[in-house]
Amino acid sequence: MKKQFIVFALLTIAITSCKQHTEQATLENFIEVENNGNTIQVPIKPKNVAVLERGVMENMDELGIPFQGMAKEFTPKYLAHLEKDKSIADLGAVFKPNFDAVSNLSPDLIFMDNAFPADYDEMIKIGTTLMLGIPNKGDNYLKYIQDNLTLLGKIYEIEPKAETLAKDLDTRVKQLKNLVATSNDKAMLIIHSEGSFRLFDENTRYGFIFKDFGVKSATNITTEIANNHGQIINSEFILEHNPDILFIIDRDAIVQNTDKPVHISNALLEKTNAFKNNKVIYLNPDAWFLSGSGATSFKIFLEDISKGYK
């Protein structure tokens, strides 16, 4: 009887030890992430990943991290190699995911865009979901991108590589700020769509060019509420404020899926300093309109703005 008790005790210890080891291993395979008001257990090095946020696509591509599914509709041209990759499942559009396709992927982790929070409740039924992106108001814009890089570094255990990329962005911003500081030129950023214009000032999603890059604004007004849509203006308004540099995002180029923006010109615009001095800069619409929340598009931002000062 005593012998049987000893054997049972040893077996119990072995089972308990095994259970503790399994629990420890399980805990070690996850990290806790604060996201969307919740504490999320995110798997380390997930096998199947669905990406429905452009910035995450860019950052994973920059860091050499593969993923198994993505929203391929309206893919920026600089990510065309991912869109054409048949090993990556097509999950619809960022703004309209194909939930069946996402579910069929059986993802261990889903990255979705925080611009479309209504999809969150449906996504968490499919798998662990993180909502990432940039807030409407462009404050601390670079920090959000760097935070997302840091998060990917932790999830995939490549923190030094993510840190290097984050520091590279810091260096590029400093270089642009130094360039901008040498000029007294005042600028205006507008979106053109079918002959109409919207102004994006310091209190909009593109406000970071003024706040973070040091670009001087040609207007002395700001919208009262942070927004993604800017405010409607006309050619008379542009001439009245007479920008030395006019940055234009041509929405029509996205709609028409063309690399060649429609060159905007009329008698009033041609009287501005920007037109007279050949300082009308067409910004990359794929980066500025379709994405903007990742390292790749942010580097394009820096390159585009620098064109106004060369």
CA 109 to chain centre: 18
Q: Would you list the domain boundaries of the chain?
A: 30-157, 183-309
The predicted pLDDT at position 228 comes to: 66
Among the listed residues 258, 304, 250, the one whose alpha carbon sits nearest the alpha carbon of residue 279: 304
pLDDT of res. 89:
98
Identify the pLDDT of residue 9. Answer: 41
Q: H/E/C letters for each residue in 98-117? A: CHHHHHHCCCCEEEEECCCH
Domains 30-157 and 183-309 share a fold: yes
| Terminal-residue alpha carbon distance, the chain | 91
Q: How many CB atoms lie within 10 A of CB 1?
A: 5
> Thinking of the domain 183-309, which architecture would CATH place it in?
3-Layer(aba) Sandwich (3.40)
Cβ-proximal residues to 5 (8 Å cutoff; 6+ apart), any chain: none
Q: Topology of domain 30-157, per CATH?
A: Rossmann fold (3.40.50)
3 state SS of 233 = strand
pLDDT digit string (tens) for the chain, length 310 residues: 444 444 434 444 444 444 444 343 344 699 999 998 999 999 999 999 999 999 999 999 999 999 999 999 999 999 999 999 999 999 999 999 999 999 999 999 999 999 999 999 999 999 999 999 887 656 688 999 999 999 999 999 999 999 999 999 999 999 999 999 999 999 999 999 988 999 999 888 899 999 999 999 999 766 555 556 789 999 999 999 999 999 999 988 887 766 666 678 899 999 999 999 999 999 999 999 999 899 999 999 999 999 999 9
